[in-house]
Amino acid sequence: MIPDQLTGFFSAGTGAVAALVGLLFVAISLAPQRVFGGTSATHAIVTNTFIALADAFFVSFGALISAGTCG
């Protein structure tokens, strides 16, 4: 359960991470050869970035869901 004061923080975090994941998808769709046709290091960076952003999104989103159901 999160304090009521942190609801705005998690809302902003969820929105920001969702926007960044969307931009990552746009970047990949515009130039997939730069990600998948390049070196394995580039592919690893993109994969790790997506995983880190997805983790942050689900932590923030989960905190918001638990705050809504407990209060």
> What is the full per-residue pLDDT of the chain (71 aa) written as tens digits?
778 888 899 899 999 999 999 998 898 889 888 777 777 788 888 889 889 999 999 999 888 887 666 55
**For position 36, what pLDDT does the model report?**
78
- What's the confidence (pLDDT) of residue 16? 93
Helical spans, DSSP H, in the chain: 7-30, 32-36, 40-70
- 59 CB-contact burial (10 Å; exposed 0-12 / middle 13-18 / buried 19+): middle
Asked if residue 17 lies in contact with residue 60, where contact means CB atoms within 8 angstroms, the answer is: yes
Q: 7-30 vs 40-70: helix axis angle to the nearest 10?
A: 150
Can you give the pLDDT at residue 15?
Answer: 92
- Asked whether the whole model's pTM tops 0.85, one would answer no
pLDDT score at 70 = 59
Task: Please report the pLDDT score of residue 68 as a whole number.
Answer: 63
